[in-house]
Amino acid sequence: MTRLAQPLSLPCGARLPNRLCKSAMTEGLSDPRLYASERHNRLYRQWSEGGAGLLISGNVMIDKRVMERPGNVAIDPASAYRPGHEGYERLRAWAQAGTVAGNHLWMQISHAGRQSPWYVAKQPLAPSEVQLDLMGNYRRPRALSEAEILDFIQRYAAVARVARETGFTGVQIHSAHGYLLSSFLSPVTNQRQDAWGGPLENRARFLLETLRAVRKAVGPDFPLSVKLNSDDFRKGGFEFSDCLQLVQWLNTESVDLLEVSGGTYEQPKLLGYEGRTEDARPARQSTQQREAYFLEYAAAIRKVATMPILMPGGFRHRAAMEAALESGDIDVIGLARPLCTEPDLPKRLLSGASLEAPAFEKSLKLGGGMFAPSSGSFVVKLINLLGQMGWYYAHIEDLADGKPLNLQRGVLAAFLRYLKNEYGTAWRMRRS
């Protein structure tokens, strides 16, 4: 049996059937009331049948006022979600569709924090009033009160309870990429002077208390995962040394799987892009040369972590995946963008029928001239990045709608379709 095909037993007693994971990708497929839809069912049924042992959903939000994008599923208020409630039954159908092949489906639970665009949130919420300056797309956030922080901790727990009741087989708490819990970890975005800011132990308090509340809500035998930045790659931000200390604290919090990622909206290293050069802290050169973005960081985390480690970001060759698992530095391989165009890729990687995942992102560019990525402009790079994202979003939507995939779709056309869908979905959400 290859390393990829080996099952993995988690600390809580659950068992993943193999070492491939469909990492979280935002779907934008909810109905106007922010309930899961038949489009989720159709999409996740394909991914379940595609062979990955673990599927992690896109952001499921705890606060319908402040979301990552229009079309997120939101469970707010979670107290209303009981058998017979339409949102509850929609979640049950999603979980059933996403586990038809005997795999795990974990709900990723999140709050967007300051990274909620103006056409979604009237006022973002954050640890401090530090605005995200990204092409004028984000409003200045309001700092959370302590009472709101304590309420959000219970919201994470309540949504996790709903996830278990409706048939999801685990949950992941999103504390990476600059979203709310992640922003509390960074001294750049967390400038509080109370018990939730200052030294790392205070900045990590929101996350740690959330994990304790979630574990209490779901019980000891239910998988609980955390997604954590290895580094924000930003001067003065959450650094790798902070990550190593935090992982040592997580060792005592009954975490079953730690997903190691990195970067924020300003520094989108999670997608292989450099961000703003004026405040960036570069990744290690040896890491930049590897196929997977954060493998060197995961290897160092492995020395202090007692829980299994999942690493997404950049894996494309089966041999590199096997080698990473063989090294013992990580335990699960995360794949995302390749599954937008080849939902059955995990099955073929496991059997050896495929030795390489598609990497369309290497050739997806808006064009030359002022849009050439080599121009060096952060805005141009961002536009190209959004174009790529729109291209992959279009394929997620085609899978969800049961339509044939159009791999010849242009990046500009996909980007314009993305913008149309974003604003149209936001408008329908507000009307509803």
What's the pLDDT score for residue 233? 87
Chunked mean pLDDT (size 10), the chain, 432 residues: 95 98 97 97 98 98 96 97 98 98 98 96 96 87 98 98 98 97 97 98 98 98 97 91 98 97 75 51 48 82 97 90 94 96 97 91 59 56 77 94 91 85 90 80
Give the three-class secondary structure for 304: coil
What's the pLDDT score for residue 285? 47
What's the pLDDT score for residue 376? 56
Inside any domain, residue 377: no
What's the pLDDT score for residue 55? 98
Inside any domain, residue 80: yes
What's the pLDDT score for residue 288? 39
What does residue 276 show for φ and ψ, rounded to 5 degrees? -65, 130
State the residue range of the domain holding 299. Answer: 8-357
Helices (H), 107-221: 146-165, 180-185, 200-203, 205-218
What's the pLDDT score for residue 408? 87
Give the three-class secondary structure for 64: coil
Inside any domain, residue 272: yes
What's the pLDDT score for residue 368? 45
Inside any domain, residue 405: no
Inside any domain, residue 429: no
Inside any domain, residue 44: yes
Could you give the number of structural domains in the chain? 1
Which letter, b or e, does each residue of 323-347 get, where b requires 16 or more Cβ atoms within 10 Å of its Cβ?
ebbeeebbbbbbbbbbbbbbbbbbb
Look up the CATH number of the domain holding residue 180: 3.20.20.70
Contact between 315 and 298 under an 8 Å Cβ cutoff? The reply is no
